[in-house]
Amino acid sequence: MILTRRCGELSEADDGTEQVLCGWLQETRNLGGIAFLQLRDSTGVAQLTLPKKKVGDANFSTWTAIARESTVRVVGEVKTNAEAPNGLELIPTELEVLNAAATPLPLGVVDRIESEIDTRLNARYLDLRRPDVAAHFRIRAAISGAVHEHLRREGFLEVQTPKIIASATEGGTSLFPVQYFDREAYLAQSPQLYKQILMSGGLDRVYEVGPAFRAEEHNTPRHLNEFISIDIEMSWADDDDVMGVMERLVASCASAVAQEVEALAALEMAPLEVELPLPRITYDKAIEIASAKSDIAWGDDLSMEATRAIAEQYGGFYFITKWPLALKPFYIQPEGEKHSKGFDFMFREVEMTSGGQRVHDITLLEQRLREQELDPTEFDHYLEPFRYGIPPHGGWGLGLDRLAMVFSGAQNVRECVLFPRDRNRLTP
């Protein structure tokens, strides 16, 4: 047995017992005749107290010289001490260095000096030892778990679609090409078309949580070139139905995150509250609001300046519905001549995702492809199921990384991704 207790698990019941702890040596305070060492693991910090007279001169000198962030194993007696963290201390009888840390450290773990995000990512192995950094991933894990639980509760079947594809998923050029034996293929930017194919197969409620790739040369705090997407598709549904799934899912995520009390405390933030139903405003109304504070006209996409104006009235999560047809992908169902059954899901001024009801009529779908200067023959594998009775359906895709960013209060999506990939980063 390597250890008997985690650092944060020591309790008054352990008083007078011998316990074995393992962790990183966080800090050493040598006062001459006595020294205090802080041992840390993912559960908390334990104090090791070294009275020189009790541990011996040789051990005292050796143990107080151990480099910070070295991994150690310590055997000792637990004692109550009102001045120690959590009211307990451990008097070592054995202290073994399992792996000595090199000095100097490339990144401070408990130091109050803030480092740039790139410096932190280069030394992610140290960065993750910080409780506030690790808290982002505890919240992310809570969200991921809530997503699966909620969607299964609503009758969705988990599926996996290909990530190596033969052609553009949604049209456009933001694709990473890969050599697939003797021909060119691409990394999937979305499972969109495959989700729709499944609607023809009678799997009428499906979801996927998986990677997506976009070869866009953006350099913002909200975008990555590899991300995790939460996607749903459901038959016999319109845009209102899929918005309902979205808002209920987000509310479930909020409830799950609220249970992560220690992670929220490490981030010094309160749980984000989500009250249903979420506001739904039309694109026309959004333009009306935004035009009072920005130079924008009907048919324009919404700039950040425009969405900031809207967010002044709708401060949390909300939907912008009934977008102009010309601004939405070919597979979004029209509503009248100019509008669509497509929506954007917003948090304050930031677009979280888009979705809507899909075109299910093959003739209209081919027309919409041509309107967007796409060749229907290049989408034969996608169009074929539409010739055999595909039902009305709708769906959306939502970035898990961006959702974690919102619920953890992060200012940069890279805070919520273990090893992010952007236009400049391929390692670690």
The model's pLDDT over 282-304, given as tens digits with 9 standing for 90+, comes to 999 999 999 888 889 899 999 88
- Side-by-side strand order, sheet with 226-235: 157-158, 205-213, 226-235, 393-399, 350-357, 342-347, 317-321, 280-282
23 phi, psi to nearest 5 deg:
170, -165
Active site residue 354: yes
pLDDT, position 218:
83
Please report the pLDDT score of residue 172 as a whole number.
55
Whether residue 104 is preceded by a cis peptide bond, meaning omega within 30 degrees of 0, is: yes
Spans in the chain with pLDDT lower than 70: 168-173
> What's the 3-state SS for 202-270?
CCCEEEEEEEEECCCCCCCCCCCCEEEEEEEEEECCCHHHHHHHHHHHHHHHHHHHHCCHHHHHHCCCC
**Of 351, 378, 421, 425, catalytic:** 351
Give the number of other CB atoms < 10 A from CB of residue 281: 18
Task: Point out the catalytic residue in the list 40, 248, 402, 414.
Answer: 402
Number of Cβ within a 10 Å radius of residue 296: 19
Catalytic pick among 9, 77, 216, 226? 216
What CA–CA distance (Å, rounded) separates 351 from 219? 16
CA angle 138, 271, 402 (to 5 degrees): 60
- DSSP H or E run through 133: helix 131-153
Is 351 a known active-site residue?
A: yes
Looking at residue 112, its pLDDT comes to: 72
What DSSP string describes 32-50?
SSEEEEEEEETTEEEEEEE
Query: What are the structural domains of the chain?
Result: 7-99 (2.40.50.140), 126-279+314-416 (3.30.930.10)
Rg, C-alpha atoms of the chain? 27
Is residue 68 part of the annotated active site? The answer reads no
Is 73 among the residues known to form the active site? no
Angle between helices 283-291 and 304-311 (to 10 degrees): 100
Cα 36 to Cα 52: distance, rounded to the nearest angstrom: 11
Maximum distance among all Cα pairs of the chain, rounded to whole angstroms: 89
Q: Does the annotation mark 393 as catalytic? A: no
**Residue among 124, 222, 308, 339 flagged as catalytic:** 222
pLDDT computed for residue 169 by the predictor: 58
Nearest to 412 by CA among 108, 114, 117, 115: 117
Angle between the N-to-C axes of helices 239-258 and 400-408, in degrees from 0 to 180, rounded to the nearest 10: 50
- The residue type at 286: A
Structure tokens given for 89 = 């201390």
CA-to-CA distance for 91 and 43, rounded, in angstroms? 20
The predicted pLDDT at position 251 comes to 98
Of the residues 6, 124, 223, 280, only one is catalytic, namely: 223
End-to-end CA distance of the chain: 32
Q: How many helices (H) and strands (E) does the chain have?
A: 13, 18
CB distance 45 to 85 below 8 Å: yes
The active-site residue, picked from 40, 214, 360, 414, is: 214
Q: Give dist(CA 330, CA 332) in Å, integer.
A: 6
- Angle at Cα 120 formed by Cα 115 and Cα 126, nearest 5°? 110
pLDDT at 86: 83
Residues 221-244: tens digit of each pLDDT: 889 999 999 999 999 999 999 999
Helix axes 131-153, 400-408, angle to 10 degrees: 120
Question: Which residues make beta-bridge pairs with 207?
Answer: 158, 232
Q: Residues 144, 252, 354, 408: which is the catalytic one?
A: 354
Q: How far is CA 99 from CA 36, 67, 105, 260, in A?
A: 20, 10, 14, 31
CA nearest 319: which of 344, 296, 351?
A: 344
Residue recorded with tokens 């779908």? 365
